[in-house]
């Protein structure tokens, strides 16, 4: 009998665990991207709801809101529809561009250290948790982003088949970039 430790990421992509298989099949159906996104968010939120009490993350801590927030156009459009703001349509992929980096400038939706789009937050935010007792490492990571030691889950190993499906449908709906590329600061 094969144990989880014997499985590779490639095995999980080809033959996802049963709990993920239903979602993978759903994401492969020809549905509106917004419907797929909602189902994906519900699944991820349910899984990560079990992290409460195990992570340093809490309401009012906004350290991660000053880090890169990579997302696709489909997520930007979803946020725009709910936040009443226009999302810029990127003409090229801008993920991992260091040009935006200004550690004093948080996410454009951060209000008083609270996420103003929490229900519509991108997948990156939904899957980012600091599995440490305090947020001290998060603050260090903001100061020195290339030396981050935040204990995070390896998302690509946790949900490989789901992430492959997400990348496939999201990639068909536009480019990817940081949330700040899609929603430049309103105070400029």
Q: Which of 185, 53, 183 is nearest to 121 (CA)?
A: 183
- Indicate if the pLDDT at residue 11 is higher than 70: no
Residue 3 lies in a domain: no
Q: Which domain holds residue 33?
A: 10-182
Residue 70 lies in a domain: yes
Residue 55 lies in a domain: yes
Identify each DSSP E strand in the chain by its residue range: 70-72, 110-111, 114-115, 176-178
Q: What percent of the chain has pLDDT over 70?
A: 69
Residue 187 lies in a domain: no
Residue 4 lies in a domain: no
Question: The pTM is what?
Answer: 0.78
Tell me how many domains the chain contains: 1
Residue 97 lies in a domain: yes
Q: Which of 28, 20, 120 is nearest to 69 (CA)?
A: 120
pLDDT in tens, 93-147: 887 666 555 667 789 999 998 899 999 999 988 887 776 766 666 666 555 555 5
Residue 156 lies in a domain: yes
């Amino acid at each position: 009998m094969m144990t989880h430790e014997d499985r590779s990421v490639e095995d999980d992509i080809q033959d996802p665990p049963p709990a993920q298989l239903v979602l993978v099949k759903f994401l492969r159906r020809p549905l509106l991207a917004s419907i797929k996104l909602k189902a994906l968010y519900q699944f991820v939120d349910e899984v990560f709801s079990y992290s409460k009490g195990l992570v340093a993350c809490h309401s009012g801590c906004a350290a991660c809101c000053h880090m890169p927030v990579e997302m696709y156009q489909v997520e930007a459009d979803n946020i725009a529809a709910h936040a009443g703001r226009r999302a810029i349509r990127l003409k090229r992929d801008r993920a991992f561009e260091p040009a935006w980096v200004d550690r004093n400038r948080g996410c454009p939706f951060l209000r008083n250290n609270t996420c103003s789009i929490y229900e519509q937050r991108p997948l990156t935010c939904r899957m980012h948790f600091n599995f440490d007792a305090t947020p001290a490492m998060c603050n260090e990571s903001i100061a020195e982003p290339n030396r981050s030691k935040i204990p995070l889950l390896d998302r690509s190993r946790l949900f490989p088949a789901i992430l492959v499906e997400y990348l496939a449908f999201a990639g068909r709906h536009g480019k990817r970039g940081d949330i700040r590329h899609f929603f430049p600061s309103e105070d400029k």
